[in-house]
Amino acid sequence: MSLANTEDEVIGRAVTKLHAGVLATVSGMIGGLALFMMTILLVIQDGPQVGQHLQLLSHYFIGYSVTWGGSLVGLFYGALTGALSGWAVGYIYNVVIGFRAR
């Protein structure tokens, strides 16, 4: 057994699979809260053209706007988008690790 094989075995045991569900939950919470907080911050700042760039999300997220009500819609959409992204990252990571372990 060579040194390279031993290192590969050690690294293979050290790398573990991710729980895609947990990653989805955490990513969803972060995504939802982030969009909620960004929207609320812009609503509080107020101004003639508040949240021009964030308002563009309304093209993708039906019902979203830079308002108090839109912040709740953004919370939902941010959580949904974050959860789907987190789950996809966890799933793809686990597939790659599965191929590497063979």
Lowest model confidence (mean pLDDT) among 12-21, 63-72, 85-94: 12-21
Every domain of the chain and the residues it spans: 3-101
pLDDT for res 61: 97
Query: Per-residue pLDDT tens for 1-54?
Result: 565 567 767 666 667 788 999 999 999 999 999 999 999 999 999 878 888 999
94 has a pLDDT exceeding 60: yes
CA angle 84, 88, 94 (to 5 degrees): 145
Contacts of 67 (CB under 8 A, 6+ apart): 39, 43
pLDDT (0 to 100) of residue 3: 58
18-27, 52-61, 92-101: segment of lowest average pLDDT: 92-101
User: What pLDDT was estimated at residue 4?
Assistant: 57
Reported as a pLDDT band with limits 50, 70 and 90, residue 78 is very high
Transcribe 34-89 into DSSP letters: HHHHHHHHHHHH--TTTTHHHHGGGGTSTT--SSHHHHHHHHHHHHHHHHHHHHHH
- The pLDDT value given to residue 20: 93
Distance CA 95, CA 102 (A): 11
